[in-house]
Each structure stands twice: as C-alpha cells, then as structure tokens.
Structure 1
Amino acid sequence: MKRTERTRAADTTDAGAGSGSGAGGVTNRTMTTFSAADEEKQRGVRRMKLTATGLLLFVAVVYVLAEWASHRGAGAWAGYVAAAAEAGMVGALADWFAVTALFRYPLGLRIPHTAIIPNKKDQLGVSLGDFVGENFLSEDVVRGRLRAVGIGSRLGTWLAVPEHADRVTAELSAALRGALTVLRDSDVQAVVGEAVTRRANAQEIAPGMGKMLEKVVADGGHKKAVDVVVTRAHDWLVLHGDYVMNAVHGGAPGWTPRFVDRKVGERVYKELLRFITEMRDMPTHPARGALDRFLADFASDLQSDTDTRARVERLKGEVLGRDEVQDLIASAWTAVRSMIVSAAEDERSELRLRVRASLLSLGARMAADPRMQGKVDGWLESAAVYVVTTYRKEITSLITDTVASWDPEHTTRKIEANIGRDLQFIRINGTVVGSLAGLVIYTVARALGA
C-alpha cells in the first residue's frame, strides 16, 4: 500500500510540478541524496506512525466497548467514556489527514490542497528564496550583523599573533607563485612592451630630460662623470701612444717626408696627452668650463628649443622601434618574475620578511586603534552590502533553482524523514486533546440538559 501511494504521488507530482521547473529555470531534476542518517530518521518516523496509529486504534476499541457497555446498562460512566473516545477518534483522523496531506494524497484520493510539498515544491523554493532575500540579504541586516561581529578588532588581534602573520604570509606567497606560474611569459611580455612603448610615445621626454640635466649641472653632479672620462682617456693615451701616432702617419699626405710625419705624430700625441692631463688635474680648466656651458645650454634647449625637442622625439621613436630595445623591455618581465618567485619561495627573503612585518604592524594598529577598526568595518560593510544588493537575485536564485532541480518524490521523503517524527506527535496530541475536548463537551451538555 505504501509503495502504491508513493508511486501515485510521484506520478502526480512529476506532472504537477513540471510548470514550476520552467519558472525556476531548471529542466532536469536531480535526485536528492538519501543518506544513512536519513534512513535512520525515517525508521524513527515509522515507529512514531505506529505509535500514533496504535493510539487511534486504542480509542476506537475503547469507544466500541463503551458503547457496548452503555447499551448493556453499565451506567452513566459509559457515556462519558464513549464521548471522549469518539472525539479522540475524530481528532486523530483529522490530524492524520492534515499530516498526510503535507506529503501525499490521503488514501490516494486527489483531494484539493493535499500533497502540498511535492505539488508546491517549486513555489515553496521561490518563497524561501524571497524570504531569505528580504530578511537576510537586506542592507540593514548585513550592516547590523557585521557591525556586531566587530571584524576589524578581531582581525587585528588575530593578525598581531606572529604565527598567524606567518600563515598569511605563506598563503600570500603561494598565491603569488601560483599567479605568476599561470601567466604566460609571452602574453605578459607583449603587454609590458606595448604598455612601455605606448607610455613613452604618449609623453614628450625632452623637457623632463632638460630639467634633470639642468639640475645635475647646477649641482655639479656631472663633474664626477667628466673626471672618470678624462682619467680613462689619459690612461688609454699613456698605454696606446703608438696608435695615435700611427693614425697621424696614416692621414698624412704621401708627398711629405716620413720623418716629418713622425715628428708631427709625436707632437700631436704630446699635445693631446698634455691637454688631457691638464684637464684631469685642473678642476678650473677652460675645457671643463666650456663643457659646463655646453651642458647648461643643451639643458635649456631641451626644454625650450623646438628643433632640439623634435630631434629628441625622433631619436626616441627610432630607439623604441629597434628590435633590441623591444627584446630588452620584454626580457625585463622574465627577470622580474624570476626575482619575485625566488623571493616568494624563500622564507627568509626580504620580500617575505617585509610582508610579515607589515602584517604584524597592521594587526597591532587595528587591534589598538578604534578609528582604524571603524574604517575596516566600514569598508567590509560597504563591500558586503554592495554584493548582497547587487547580486541578491543571483543569490536567491541559487535556492530556488536548487529546490526546483530536486526530484519531488525524493524531496518529499527527505523532508518527511527530517520532520515527520515531530509531525506524528501532532496526531498523538490530536487524539489526546480531542478526547479531553469531547469529554468536556459531553459533560457540559449533560449538566445543562439535567
């Protein structure tokens, strides 16, 4: 009988609930899992059903015996017992009908407004989603709940513990390594190269270079570079005097005597060496002053001279367009990625030590500073409110679509297994309360009739 009722209910609910799947946007109905715990609960429901049914049979037997005794002249007490038993049967049957109508058609009869759960499953899912959206995903509820939790203070106290800071640092390092591993070098290199080139082309560099050069000259910062150049030039001339003299020989006319070429070469070499030596040893050498004026004028031209700025821009475009420069820009990502990955893997690297120290400092400040706690709480509240208000429909649709995807028969069984035992107490209470009510009514009626 039970299997017949279940089969009928499944056939009926499959037909009746089909329209609900369309509303929920789910066409296939997945079978809910019926676990071992659910099986144990269902056995408890069966035991309670037997108890409630047994109580109904008990009052029925009492009613029959009381009526028999009353007709046999047993006395007035038999009428009281019969009235109580009769009302108990009515109460028990009414509550049996009510409880059964939640899950299936009573006795297989398709009475209106019965088999409520299988027939109204999808509507119940929509109502549940709306209830959650209105009462749990509202702005006031979210803000009040997060404010009561005090996340800023708790998070600060938690982060201030060194072990927790170590854990967060390790997790961040793992996430960073994972992200860098997932990214393809070719894609990143292309993006970096394009971004650098676009940025360089979009901004004129000559004025900036002019201001920087002007400041360097004003501060005398270029003098050290000049010292290095002239010192290296002097040392090179000392070691390679023959190269200079041979170069002079090679450039002399063919009709000049060879000894004259040698004398000229030696003279040029000595004058050049003397000039470089004086320039090296004399900070006030005229050539140094001329170089200072040249650099100062060039810095000014970079900022104000149209022709100079245009030439610099053309040179910039030519340099950026060279394959060697593009390769250099692209290869910078490889070096940076390798450096970051190595630092993230090394527990004693400067990167991880600084991140850990920053987390500890942040945690200590958050734990002690009410203003910072308020800021963190405000940020989290705003973020949570934005999520729940923007994606409320998507969140609630998770409930409605999930309920709509459940198989009606197995959903009914699962719900009955979890709440059916308590519902059987309704039948028992109906029997007891009905009996007491019937006894009171019969007593009042007899008293008024007397």
Structure 2
Amino acid sequence: MIVRAAPPPAALVRMRRLAALLLVAMAAAFFASRALEPRHPAWGFVRAFAEAAMVGGLADWFAVTALFRHPLGLPIPHTAIIPRNKDRIGDQLAQFLREYFLIPAVVARRMQRIDVAAAAGRWLANPRGAGGSRLTRGISRLATEVLQALDQERLGGMVRAMMVTRVRETELSPMLGRALAAAMAEERHRPVIDALVRWMRGALGSNEHLIRAMVHDRAGTVLRWTGLDETLANKIIDGLDKLVAEMADNPEHPLRLKVEEAMASVAERLQHDPELRTRVETVKIELLENPAMQDWINGLWEQARAAMLRAARDPDALMAGKLGEALHQLGATLQDDPRLGRIINRFVRRAAVGAAADYGDAIVRLVSETVRGWDAQTVTQRLENAVGKDLQFIRINGTLVGGLVGVVIHGVDVLL
C-alpha cells in the first residue's frame, strides 16, 4: 500500500528559505570582505566569519540532507539514510513498542491512572458537555461507516446462521414446560382460560344454525313432523350456553379445573416425556427449514440492521428516547457508585493487560508490516515534515557557530 505524503508545512518552507538565504548572505559577505580586506584589517575578521560560516552551513546542510536523500542527487555512500533503512527503522520501532510499551506490567500501571468508569459516566450523563458532542458525532460517523462498510450479505448470513444454530442446539420442550409450569404457579394461565371461554361463547352464538341443522338432520321423521327437533335443538343450545356462562363466572368450575389439570399434565410431559420432547424437536426443525420461517428470520436481521443504522446516524434521537434515559441513569450511577466504578475499571484494566499479553506480537507485526508497505519517498517526506523545522535550525546554528569559530581562529592567528 502506497501512502501519499502531505506537502511540506509553511513553517518548514520558511525555515528552509531562511537557512538558504543565510548561507547565500555568508557567501556574499565572504567575497565582499575578501575584496575589502587590504583596505583595513577588520575586514579580515568579517572574511573569517563568513568563510567559516559557509563551511559550517554547508556541512550541516549536507548532514541534514543526507538523512533524507542523496545530496545534489549524487549516490554518495552513507547518504539517504532513512529511505535506505526504512524497513529496519520500522522493525526497530515495532520492537521498541513491544519492549517498552506493550508489556503487561507497563499497561497495568498506566491503566491504574485512568478512570474509565468516571469518564464514561460523565459522557453518558451529559453527552453534549465539554467535547461530548464532538465525541458523539465521531462515534456516530465511525459506527455508520463500519455498518456500511461490512459485507451485508456475509454478515447477515453469519447472523442468521448463528440464530438458526442457536435455536437448533436449544431443546425447546423443557423450556416450554418450565415456562408453562411457572405461569400456572403464578396463576398467569387464568387469563388464557378466560379468553378461551369467551371464544367458546362467541363461537356458540355464531354457529347456532349449525347445531340446529345437525339436530334436524339426525332426528327421526316423527320428531321433525311434531317440531320436537326444534325444541331439542333449543335445549341443547341453552344447555351449552349455560355451561359456558358458568365456566366464565366460576373460576373453580369443574371443567375449568379439568383444563388446568390438562395444562399441568402437558407442562410435566414437556419436561419429562421423551416421546413428546422428540415430537416438539421435530416440529421445531420443520419450522426452521420452512422457507417462510427463513424469510421471517431474514426480515429480522434487516430490521435490526436498519435500526442500528438509524441509531448510528442520529445519536441525539437515540439519547432522547427510553434507551437514552437508561444511559443517562447509567452515567449518573457510574459517577455516584464507587464500587461499580472500581469493578468496571478493574475489568477494563484486565482487558487491556490481556490484550497486550495476547496481541502484543500481532501489534508489533502490524507496525512493522505497515511501515514496510509504505513508499520510501513518502516516509521520508513525512518524517521531514514532522522534524524538518528543527533540522533547519541546525543549519542556521551551524552557520552562525561556524562563523564564530572562524572569528576565534582568525583572532588567535592575528595575535600570534
């Protein structure tokens, strides 16, 4: 991967020009003082200063330039040091990180000084506070880009496969049995029976004509001729209606108790009857393999993904809802509960230490391989842009210091 470097900053360009202009000024001063030296001995000091300054400036220019490239494009040995040793520098940098930073003991000491729980609590309690809004927007953009960058077909397939595998591996029969037994123990089954009785009453009223037709068809000729079949049908309908009404009004009605006994038996069998458990598992597998069920599961994933994208794109709306209230409360709790804060900080510290111990070598390889993948010229430009301003000061200082040394040497020569 080739990484393109940014153009040099304006401050670096100014310092380069200043160092070059100073060197040109010293050259001009040298030639001028050399011409004027016969007129007055003082010009000898100016010539010595300018001469030594040129030597010092050129020497430091050569040294600074040799770090990043060949001076004047000439392949002089031991120049262009950084481009030639880019890979070795990357390896040494990675090793330096491994030996002095990615050590579990160092990470643990550093993490002890960081109160992650308090920072998270402050942000959750006031996401719009000092820098919080910027952090929220950053997290929102990152989450959105990650969700959009992922291969949705592959990710969706993984999620669906995990859901189906989880349901396949989970035996539903005992769970259903325990849930039904718990509901009956807390009498949460009674509304179900009440709804069933109401349905029976409504179904009876809607289907009286079927009962009358059944009695009429099965009655003998005498009953039909005398009209007793109609009377018999009315008696049957009235009796059924009275039975259903009594079941609705009396929670302890014998038929209701029979229904409860049947439900209790089903709950017991779901947990302990191998034959029923096998039948339930068979039905479960058939449902999972049904195309309609597959479409429903696919729809669940798409809905979940759409909801995550909406939340990522509009975190303010998310923080304003019920979840936002819960997160605000969590933030306040994190700030007010020292025990919970210690637990979270300890967990984060252990996670960081574990990551350094388990993935330190992988991080080192990542740094080394990343530097190796960079273009040598780009690396050189980036390093020069980062430290070049200070290196230009070396050129300026070398010019001035060289000039002063030249004056001292000339003065000693004059005195002796």
TM-score above 0.5, yes or no: yes
1:308-347 counterparts in 2 under 5 A? Answer: 308-336=276-304, 345=314, 346=317
State the AA in 2 paired with 1:358: L
* 8 Å CA contact retained: 1:100, 1:106: no
State which of 47, 50, 63 in structure 1 corresponds to 2:21. Answer: 47
* 2:192 match: 225
State the AA in 2 paired with 1:163: R
* 1:122 match: 83
State the AA in 1 paired with 2:401: N
State the AA in 2 paired with 1:122: P
**CA displacement, residues 194-231 of structure 1 (integer Å, 9 cap, x when unaligned):** 44433333222222222222333344332332233223
The two structures have a TM-score, normalised by structure 2, of 0.69
* 8 Å CA contact retained: 1:303, 1:309: yes
**CA displacement, residues 378-421 of structure 1 (integer Å, 9 cap, x when unaligned):** 65566578776532344355556656235999999999887356
Mapped partners of 2:238, 2:381: distance in 1: 109
Structure 1 residue ranges without an equivalent (≥5): 1-24, 70-77
Q: CA deviation at 1:309?
A: 1.9
**CA displacement, residues 181-202 of structure 1 (integer Å, 9 cap, x when unaligned):** 7779877765555444333332
The two structures have a TM-score, normalised by structure 1, of 0.65
> Structure 1 residues 364 and 401, CA, compared in 2 at 3 Å: closer, same or farther?
farther
1:14-413 counterparts in 2 under 5 A? Answer: 33=7, 37-54=11-28, 56-57=30-31, 95=56, 98-99=59-60, 101-102=62-63, 103=65, 113=77, 116-117=78-79, 119-126=80-87, 128-129=89-90, 132-135=93-96, 138-139=100-101, 143=107, 146=110, 150=114, 152=116, 155=119, 159=123, 161=126, 163-164=128-129, 168=135, 172=139, 193-238=160-205, 240-250=207-217, 252=218, 257-258=223-224, 259-336=227-304, 345=314, 346=317, 348-362=320-334, 376=348, 379=351, 389-396=361-368, 398=370, 402=374, 404-406=376-378
> Structure 1 residues 404 and 296, CA, compared in 2 at 3 Å: closer, same or farther?
same
**CA displacement, residues 327-358 of structure 1 (integer Å, 9 cap, x when unaligned):** 33333445555666667743632223333443
**CA displacement, residues 311-337 of structure 1 (integer Å, 9 cap, x when unaligned):** 222233333343443333333445555
Q: CA deviation at 1:176?
A: 5.6
> Structure 1 residues 233 and 123, CA, compared in 2 at 3 Å: closer, same or farther?
same
Q: CA deviation at 1:265?
A: 2.5
State the AA in 1 paired with 2:119: L
* 8 Å CA contact retained: 1:248, 1:264: yes
Aligned pairs, number = 401
Quick check: which has more Rg, 1 or 2? 1
> Structure 1 residues 328 and 424, CA, compared in 2 at 3 Å: closer, same or farther?
closer
Q: Which moved more, 1:220-229 or 1:372-381?
A: 372-381
> Structure 1 residues 144 and 330, CA, compared in 2 at 3 Å: closer, same or farther?
closer
Q: Which moved more, 1:278-287 or 1:168-177?
A: 168-177
For residue 301 of structure 1, give the secondary structure of its aligned residue in structure 2: helix
Q: CA RMSD in A?
A: 5.2
For residue 252 of structure 2, give the secondary structure of its aligned residue in structure 1: coil
For residue 267 of structure 2, give the secondary structure of its aligned residue in structure 1: helix
> Structure 1 residues 282 and 43, CA, compared in 2 at 3 Å: closer, same or farther?
closer
State the AA in 2 paired with 1:139: F
State the AA in 1 paired with 2:362: T
Mapped partners of 1:91, 1:229: distance in 2: 108
> Structure 1 residues 143 and 435, CA, compared in 2 at 3 Å: closer, same or farther?
same
For residue 251 of structure 2, give the secondary structure of its aligned residue in structure 1: coil
> Structure 1 residues 265 and 146, CA, compared in 2 at 3 Å: closer, same or farther?
same
Q: CA deviation at 1:151?
A: 6.2
For residue 163 of structure 1, give the secondary structure of its aligned residue in structure 2: coil
* 8 Å CA contact retained: 1:88, 1:433: yes
> Structure 1 residues 100 and 384, CA, compared in 2 at 3 Å: closer, same or farther?
same
For residue 220 of structure 1, give the secondary structure of its aligned residue in structure 2: coil
